[in-house]
Each structure stands twice: as C-alpha cells, then as structure tokens.
Structure 1
Amino acid sequence: MFRFAMLTLVAAVSAVGAAQAVVALDPVRGATALAAVWREGAPPPQVQDRAAILKSADGHYWAEGEIQGRPVRFLVDTGATTVALTQEDARRLGYDTEALVYGQKVLTAAGEARAAVVKLPAVSIAGASVSDVDAMIVEKGLETSLLGMSYLGRLSGFEATRTSLVLQP
C-alpha cells in the first residue's frame, strides 16, 4: 500500500507543470532530490492518531506546519529527498541567511541555485512531529518551502486518498 501511495503521489507531482521544484545535485552521487509542493488555505484536521492534509482545489497538498514554534507553509513532495526552506521562512525561523554556507548545488523552477544544509530541531504537521529533520535553505529561486522525505520518510506511514494525504506519526 505504501509503494502504491508513493507511486501515485510521484506520478501526480510529475503530471503538474505549475509546481515549484528543487533538485539537489550531489557531486558524489549525482542528482538526488526533486521537490515540489502546493498550497491550500485551512489547517488540516486531526483524525484520531493520524493527521490529514486536505487536497486543495488545484490538486496539490499544501501543509501548514510548525518549526521552532513558528508557522511554515509547505508544498508536499514525496519525490524530494529533504525539506527545502525559502530564505523568508529561514529568516523567520531565526537563521542568519547571510552567514550560511551555500555549498549544495540545487535546481529550482527559476534555474540553478545553491543551498545550505541544516538540521531542524523538529517539524510538526497537523500534530505529526518529527525531530532532527535534515533540510536545505535555498539561497534564491524557491518561492515556497517544500516538505520532502526527510520528514515524510520518518513517519510510521502516509497515504494519499481522493481527498487528503493522511500522515501516521
């Protein structure tokens, strides 16, 4: 079931051309990540021991998250290796974006850019919290923060339905 949900989401992400994207280029292993995420307004409802992110009218999953007690809006992308943060979100979270070392090459919808690798103390989406999450802060070219597999892969599971993405902490 997990594989089917993963393949379905990857296919859905690939089919939508309007998404933003980030590809991390690792000089040792080659291209390692494609990240795309979409937007929706209302916070997702809690479902017992699971959390649900409602599918937006544009067909994408937009997640209202929290990092270090601050809100962050993410576009969900199962094809992304890591969480990717915009400069604005990084500054709001307290990162000195001028002092970061942008040593990781990435490709965004706006072209090639650089990213700084960071570790987030915790990322929480609709109550589903994960500690010590690998992430990138993209220097330029990323308009929306992306929720990738460095968060999603550490959940006990997630599943796409016709109306929502269900997270199992």
Structure 2
Amino acid sequence: MTGDQTLQVIAAVMMLTLVGSSLLSRRLALGQVARMIAGWLLIFAAVLVGYSYRFELNAVVQRVAGDLLGERGQTVGGTLRVPMAPDGHFWVRARINGHEQRFLIDSGATTTALSARTADAADLTVDRGGFPVLINTANGTVEAQRTRIERLTMGPIVAKDMAAVVSPAFGDMNVLGMNFLSSLESWRVEGRTLILVPHQPRV
C-alpha cells in the first residue's frame, strides 16, 4: 500500500467514525442509520475514486472544455481556423505521435516547448545527456533538454521531425513556437481568428 492509499484509508475510517458517532448520538432507527451510512459510504467512495483518477479526469475535463471553446479549430478550404480564447490567446488541440494535448500557439516563442508529462506520454526521446538549453520564460530563465517530434497533427496540418525542448519547469504548459509557424505555408490573424495554412501537396 502506497503512502497516498494509507492516508486515504485513514481519512475514510476517521470520517466514518465521526459520522457513526453522530448518528448513534441522535438515537435514530436502525434502518434509517443504515441508509444514512450507505449514503455516506457512496460519497466517500466517489471522493476516493475521483482523487485516485484525478489526472485522467483532468484530461477528460480539458478535452471537453477544448471542444466547447473551439480549440480543435475549424478546417475551411484546407486551412485551420483557431478562434481566440477568452484569455486573449490562441489554444489548439494537437496530437504528438498520436497523443492529444493542449497547446498555446505563441509567435513570441522561438522554439516549441513541451511539458515533461507530455514528452513522456508521447514517448519522445529526450537528450538528457547533452548541454541544456536556456529558455527565457515569464518566470525567468529555465533549463530545458532537446527532443524531436516525429509527427504532430492538427486538422489538415501535419508537421514532421520538428525540434522542441522539454523541461519540468514548464509545468503543464505546451507551446507551439515560431519553428512550427515557419513550417507552414503561411499564417495570419484576422480579427479574433488565427488562420494556419499548411503547404499544399504538389500535383
């Protein structure tokens, strides 16, 4: 049993003890007590399951939120149109080696940057033995390691063998920088919409 599991069991036992003592002190009928205990058990079970699968649930919440906010973009005439989010940025859902993740498209970033969790989930090979890359962020300068993205897809756009950097200091943030934007045929902002134009296949 892990430390987290032990704490969960202890917390559940303590809560059940408190609830049981409270119910007994009220001298309720046995059947009513049993129903109330069963209800509390269901609540505790739901909380424990939610905590145990918090990362998976967070991914589901992000996916649903992305759909509601239009983060998958809209394919129009071979282009991908990404609406501006309420925070004033352009967010998009993309797949790295088949793994879907949320990205901020930032023309002010030179290089595409990935969180350590995203790199692990996409099974990327990170050059941990080489010299680190120094990246300037809003929170100061951080060290990152180099990697390459074999395949990144979003709507009609496919980017292959793209350089990126990885660092735990990025938290859960993933950024598509200028090295991604410059791989496109063109990109532009019209009003509150970012329009990404991929290279058209030659006939």
What TM-score do you get using the length of structure 1 for normalisation? Answer: 0.69
TM-aligned CA deviation for residue 106 of structure 1 = 1.8
1:91 to 116, 120, 142: 120
1:125 and 1:152 map into 2 onto residues whose CA distance is: 13
141 and 128 in structure 1: CA distance in 2 versus 1, 3 angstrom threshold: closer
Which runs of structure 2 are paired with 1:128-143 in the superposition (5 Å)?
128-143=157-172
Query: Does residue 117 in structure 1 map to residue 150 in structure 2?
Result: no
Contact 1:117–1:137 (CA under 8 A) maintained in structure 2? yes
TM-aligned CA deviation for residue 72 of structure 1 = 1.6
User: Residue by residue, what CA displacement relative to the aligned partner does 1:67-111 show, whole Å, maximum 9, x if unpaired?
Assistant: 1011121111112111100111111111376x7246112233333
User: Residue by residue, what CA displacement relative to the aligned partner does 1:21-45 show, whole Å, maximum 9, x if unpaired?
Assistant: xxxxxxxxxxxxxxxxxx9633211
Query: Does residue 100 in structure 1 map to residue 128 in structure 2?
Result: yes
Q: Greater shift after overlay, 151-160 or 119-128?
A: 119-128
Query: Does residue 79 in structure 1 map to residue 108 in structure 2?
Result: yes
Unaligned runs of 5+ in 2: 1-64, 199-203
Quick check: which has more Rg, 1 or 2? 2
The structure in which a higher percent of residues are strand is 1
SS at match of 1:123: strand
Query: Does residue 49 in structure 1 map to residue 78 in structure 2?
Result: yes
Alpha carbon RMSD of aligned pairs, Å?
2.1
Unaligned runs of 5+ in 1: 1-38
TM-aligned CA deviation for residue 143 of structure 1 = 3.4
Please name the residue that 1:63 is paired with: 92
1:161 to 183, 190, 197: 190
Please name the residue that 2:57 is paired with: none
Aligned-residue sequence identity (percent) comes to: 25
Aligned residues: 130
Contact 1:123–1:151 (CA under 8 A) maintained in structure 2? no
Higher relative CO (CA 8 A, sep ≥ 6), structure 1 or 2?
1
TM-aligned CA deviation for residue 152 of structure 1 = 0.8
141 and 111 in structure 1: CA distance in 2 versus 1, 3 angstrom threshold: farther
